[in-house]
Amino acid sequence: MPRILLHVCCGPCSLMPIVHLRDEGWEPTAFFFNPNIHPENEWLKRRDAMREAAMRLNVPLLEEGSPLNPGQWVRSLHGVVLQGARCRLCYRPRMERTAALAVEQGFDAFTTSLLYSRYQHHETIAEEAAKAAQTCGATFLYRDFRTWWWEGIAMSKELGIYRQKWCGCILSMKDALTQQKEDKARKAAQKAERAARLAKEEEELRLKKEAVAAHPNKRARKALARQAAQSAANSKGTLP
């Protein structure tokens, strides 16, 4: 059975790649190497979640490295901080180390669980992995694991594995917190708008009820007035 080194970014994202690589006939070994996950306690949560996933799925797990200092990581970007552009610089060292390790330990190929996430830059990941493979003389196995997105979510919830709320680095954490604040503010504005609309509708209904209460026979009086007017007109028409 051919052996494949699977770079894993976290427990939840590793599930479907492991399952479907095995279905294809591969023997996967997971490799946790993610120095740009911040802060350190988040790195530890994701490492522990990956350990849990590896135990549950009975897959060997290799671990390497430790979390970089967030400030050191940002300085290493040399001003490339826009989401998307900075992500390539995050993928590159992980793919390079995975490709190198695959060659060192005689794996037949390597791939990454980053290709599972719908929130990652899929094509960029594949490009960086292919470049790393060419440089090291490794074989990169491309797969679009996003096909099994919902199955992976369901399985991670069923196993109770920790699910992170941002991509990884300190910048993505700040982006996520900003987005959460914006979402909260938007929901509060929508709630206030809905409450104002309901209050207006209730006031209109109250005024309508008061008007009806003040003139309970308004419709009847109008009908009688029309009838009296018609009778008067008919009487005029029959005078000699």
Give the model confidence (pLDDT) of 15-37 as tens digits: 999 999 999 999 999 999 999 88
Ranking 80-89, 157-166, 229-238 by mean pLDDT, the lowest is: 229-238
**Structural domain span for residue 95:** 3-168
Residue 170: pLDDT band with limits 50, 70, 90: confident
The model scores a pTM over 0.85 = no
| Paired tokens of 112 | 């990454």
Q: What is the sign, positive or negative, of the torsion defined by CA atoms of 96, 98, 102, 107? A: negative
What is the CB neighbour count within 10 angstroms for residue 133? 23
Asked whether residue 237 carries a pLDDT value surpassing 60, the answer given is no
Same domain as 117, residue 13: yes
Same domain as 194, residue 99: no
Asked whether residue 74 carries a pLDDT value surpassing 90, the answer given is no
Locate the DSSP E strands across 44-199: 61-63, 109-112
Asked whether residue 225 carries a pLDDT value surpassing 90, the answer given is no
Asked whether residue 204 carries a pLDDT value surpassing 60, the answer given is yes
Ranking 10-14, 55-59, 164-168 by mean pLDDT, the lowest is: 164-168
Which of 110, 102, 107, 89 minimizes the C-alpha distance to 35? Answer: 89
- Give residue-wise pLDDT tens across range 208-221: 776 666 665 666 66
Residue 53 belongs to some domain of the structure: yes
User: What CATH number should be reported for the domain holding residue 30?
Assistant: 3.40.50.620
Average pLDDT estimate for 129-141:
98
Average pLDDT estimate for 135-156:
97
pLDDT of residue 238: 52
Residue 176: pLDDT band with limits 50, 70, 90: confident
Residue 49 belongs to some domain of the structure: yes
Contact of 64 with 40, CB cutoff 8 Å: no
Q: Are strands 61-63 and 109-112 parallel, antiparallel or unpaired?
A: unpaired
Residue 52 belongs to some domain of the structure: yes
Contact of 9 with 50, CB cutoff 8 Å: no
Q: What is the sign, positive or negative, of the torsion defined by CA atoms of 8, 134, 148, 170? A: positive
Ranking 117-131, 160-174, 199-213 by mean pLDDT, the lowest is: 199-213
Same domain as 95, residue 72: yes
